[in-house]
Structure 1
Amino acid sequence: MTFTIVLLALVAAFLGLRLYAVLGKRTGHEQEPVARRSVEVQASPLLRQPSTSGDAASVVPGTDLSNVETAAQSGVKAISNADRNFDSTSFLEGSKTAYKMVLEAFWKGDKEALRFLCDDDVFTSFAEAIDGRAERGETLENRLVRIDEVRIVDASYDHPIARISVRFDADIAAMVKDADGNVIGGSMTDAVETHDIWTFMRDVKSDNRNWKLDETDSV
């Protein structure tokens, strides 16, 4: 299932109350359980470009390419040149939190949180999927077990817009219930391997240092 989503300002005080309590997964994977060890995902910093502090010379922008695929390295370097505060390691840590929060909002059917996180078109897509579940009387009881790996697989800079695509390899326990509470798919004791690519974007000339998530795909 492919969704296009925009991650607006990530406000921890607002989202923490709404998103961190429940974990889950999009529908579509519940029928492919794969046994995995349950290792909880730890919260990462929000996907927000750090502001400059202290001596600017101490900032080493985007130099760690260990989690950047070869095809994306020139793009990461271009973004680093355009935004001297950019750091690929911090970006990836923040992307893990963004991944978790957006999935949780969708799984819970939290339209208020999704409206805050998405643009109008994407909110409509999410809302339609949530309404479809409600019409069928289905509920999701899912849990993000762990994120095994994150890697930057593509990056580009087209002044003033920076775009970075991140691949998330994760394990998710997924279960769907019908209107009577009967399990109709999945299991909370097994986990499903998922492989998603999410693309983030930011106007590097803007005072708003939050990255926006404007596209997701599954591979």
Structure 2
Amino acid sequence: MTAFSIVLLAMIAAFLGMRLYSVLGKRTGHEQEPVLPRERSTTPPVRLDDGDTPPSMLAAAPDASGLVYEPAAEAGLRQLLATDRSFDAGRFMEGAEAAYRMISEAYWKGDRDTLRDLCDKDSYEAFVAAIEARAARGETLDNRLIGIDSAKITAVDLDRNEARITVRYRADISAVTHDADGKLIAGSMSDASQTDDLWTFRRQIGSSDPNWLLDEIEAA
């Protein structure tokens, strides 16, 4: 997938807002205190705000696709958790993976209604411009997200009341382009390519809006 920078005002349609609300950090008041698991597995989660956590539990984890965050992001995650007690890294990553799929598929399909719901004015217009340029060439995309091989938080930055989280996605995508006559001009449905992109999400800390906004996309 071509990497490009965008500012995305995420999940403002009622259905999508509710969907991402449930996976990007919603808390009902009945869960345990926020934790920051290093892996999505049955391994006991690691609390980054617990001074009694053994040093061995905070050591850099091995490089594996199940990791929630990379060691370089740990300090920023500590700071975020100390500032926003409602944050849950595991839930954030579940929502971030869902957002990756929804946003990608909406763009590939040229689904303007969905993009309008997901984007602010500038980013919506950027998407529309790309879709219209594609249509002017008489091209259509038949892209498929085969799977997300790895999704990890690589950086966390706090600036005043805004948090920014960068996620690195490695995914297999089958990218196929057809011309106006339906002739295959690029790609192959049987030969997926691996992408390596960085998506940065942002959110106002303490905001009543639970949604994280996609701020930019770039190649890793």
TM-score scaled by structure 2? 0.79
Which residue does the alignment assign to 1:68? 69
Q: Provide the rounded CA distance (Å) in 2 between the counterparts of 1:161 and 1:148.
A: 29
Q: Provide the rounded CA distance (Å) in 1 between the counterparts of 2:148 and 2:140.
A: 23
**Structure 2 counterpart of 1:50, which letter?**
K
Identify the structure with bigger relative contact order (alpha carbons < 8 Å, sequence gap 6+): 1
Which residue does the alignment assign to 1:163? 164
Which protein shows a greater Rg? 2
3-state SS in 1 of match to 2:95: helix
3-state SS in 1 of match to 2:26: coil
Alpha-carbon distance, 1:92 to partner: 1.0
What whole-Å deviation, never above 9, does each CA across 1:10-65 have from its counterpart, x for those lacking one? 657369xxxxxxxxxxxxxxxxxxxxxxxxxxx9986532124226xx22333537
Identity of aligned residues (%): 41
Gaps of at least 5 residues in structure 2 are 40-66
The RMSD of aligned alpha carbons is: 2.3
What whole-Å deviation, never above 9, does each CA across 1:162-193 have from its counterpart, x for those lacking one? 11000000001110000000000001111001
- With 187-196 and 116-125 compared, the bigger mean Cα shift is at 116-125
What whole-Å deviation, never above 9, does each CA across 1:83-111 have from its counterpart, x for those lacking one? 11111111111100000000011001111
Q: Is the 8 A contact 2:37 2:68 kept in 1?
A: no
Which residue does the alignment assign to 2:207? 206
Alpha-carbon distance, 1:75 to partner: 0.8
Q: 2:175 aligned with 1:174, yes or no?
A: yes
3-state SS in 1 of match to 2:218: strand
**Structure 1 counterpart of 2:25, which letter?**
Q
Q: Is the 8 A contact 1:156 1:164 kept in 2?
A: yes
After superposition, residues 1-219 of structure 1 pair within 5 angstroms as 1-9=3-11, 11=13, 13=15, 47-54=23-30, 58-64=32-38, 66-219=67-220
Q: Is the 8 A contact 1:200 1:214 kept in 2?
A: yes
Q: Is the 8 A contact 1:44 1:93 kept in 2?
A: no
3-state SS in 1 of match to 2:177: strand
What whole-Å deviation, never above 9, does each CA across 1:78-137 have from its counterpart, x for those lacking one? 111111111111111110000000001100111121111111111111111000001001
Gaps of at least 5 residues in structure 1 are 16-42
3-state SS in 2 of match to 1:189: coil
- With 87-96 and 165-174 compared, the bigger mean Cα shift is at 87-96
Q: Provide the rounded CA distance (Å) in 2 between the counterparts of 1:46 and 1:217.
A: 27
TM-score scaled by structure 1? 0.80
Alpha-carbon distance, 1:68 to partner: 1.6
- With 168-177 and 121-130 compared, the bigger mean Cα shift is at 121-130
Alpha-carbon distance, 1:138 to partner: 0.2
What whole-Å deviation, never above 9, does each CA across 1:137-162 have from its counterpart, x for those lacking one? 10001110000001111101123111
- With 133-142 and 2-11 compared, the bigger mean Cα shift is at 2-11
**Structure 2 counterpart of 1:60, which letter?**
P
3-state SS in 2 of match to 1:132: helix
Q: Provide the rounded CA distance (Å) in 2 between the counterparts of 1:147 and 1:115.
A: 25
